[in-house]
Structure formats: C-alpha cells, structure tokens
Amino acid sequence: MLKSCSHLIQRSIVWVRYLRRIKYVKYGFFAMLVMLLLIGLRVATQSSNLPESLNLSDKFIHFFVFFCFTFLADLVSSREPFWFWKALPLAAYGFGVEVLQYFSLDRSFSLMDALADFSGILVYWLLKQLIYMIAQRRSASAQSKI
C-alpha cells in the first residue's frame, strides 16, 4: 500500500513538472488562479447571511480555498523561494480581504479567518516537503539497489 502510494506521489510530481513546461497550460492555470482570486474578493466583500453555526465550517472553507490557491500558484510558477514568491502574496491577499471586510457594512474582520487562510498555505507547503522527502528516499533506495 505504502509503495503504491509513494509511486503515485512520485508520478504526480513528474506530472506537475511536465505541465509547467507547457506554455498554454501554465497560462491557463494562471488565468484560472487570477479569476478565482477576483471571484473570491467579490464573494468576500458581499453580505453573508450564513447562520452562526457554520462558523467552524467557514474556517475549513478558508483553509481549503487557500490550500487550492497555493496548489495553483505552485503549478503556475516554479520560482523559488516558495515563501517569497507564492506564500507571501497569497497570505497578503487573505489578510487584505479581511481588512476589506472590516470596512464593509455587512462583514467583519476576523483574525481566525486569516489564520485559517495561512494554515491552508502552510499545510500545502508541509505536504509538498513530505512528498519530496518520500521521492528522494525512494530514488536513493532505488539507486542503492543498482
């Protein structure tokens, strides 16, 4: 099971690296990321009529959306360091949305939402590091068998 999961992860890394090289795919994902960021900005500044019981679910939504934004940003750009070129702009976007909500009549600033945004970015980065470590160990063990 672990071997097949590791193989799937390694194939995914190769797939992402391949997609980055295709200009139209890269620009298409970039356009999708920009469009989603603009839609997110629009949705975040509209009035929300959600019940208070969905507050925990709201944090999960923030986490999941920023996890996906980070994946798209990572797919679009191979620039390093990750924290400067990808995480910092996304974290600034998330915090900026919260600041805009502070000035909105129907919404309010929430530090917990900003933390949920940042945790989505952080978990993506941690998962990516784990995937790279597994792939390196797998290739090192494969080379030692030769």
Mean residue pLDDT across the chain: 82
pLDDT digits (tens, 9 = 90+) for 98-133: 998 888 877 888 899 999 999 999 999 999 888 888
What is the average per-residue pLDDT within 142-146?
73
> pLDDT: is 97 or 2 the higher one?
97
* Residue 113 neighbours by CB under 8 Å, 6+ apart: 58, 59, 62, 94, 98
pTM given for the model: 0.76
What is the average per-residue pLDDT within 19-34?
83
What is the average per-residue pLDDT within 13-18?
71
Q: What is the DSSP track for 16-42?
A: HHHHHH-HHHHHHHHHHHHHHHHHHHH
Question: In the chain, where are the structural domains located?
Answer: 8-45+54-145
Q: Residue 47 — φ and ψ, nearest 5°?
A: -70, 145
What is residue 3's predicted lDDT score, i.e. its pLDDT? 63
Q: In whole angstroms, what is the distance from residue 94 CA to residue 33 CA?
A: 14
Q: How many other CB atoms sit within 10 Å of the CB of residue 132? A: 13
What is the average per-residue pLDDT within 66-72?
91
Q: In whole angstroms, what is the distance from residue 94 CA to residue 115 CA?
A: 9
User: Dihedral sign, CA of 73, 117, 57, 123?
Assistant: positive
Tokens of 106: 């129907």
Q: Can you list the alpha helix ranges (DSSP code H) found in 46-146?
A: 55-76, 82, 88-103, 111-145
Tokens of 84: 């400067």
- Between helix 55-76 and helix 88-103 the angle, nearest 10°, is 140
Q: In whole angstroms, what is the distance from residue 85 CA to residue 95 CA?
A: 16
What is residue 11's predicted lDDT score, i.e. its pLDDT? 72
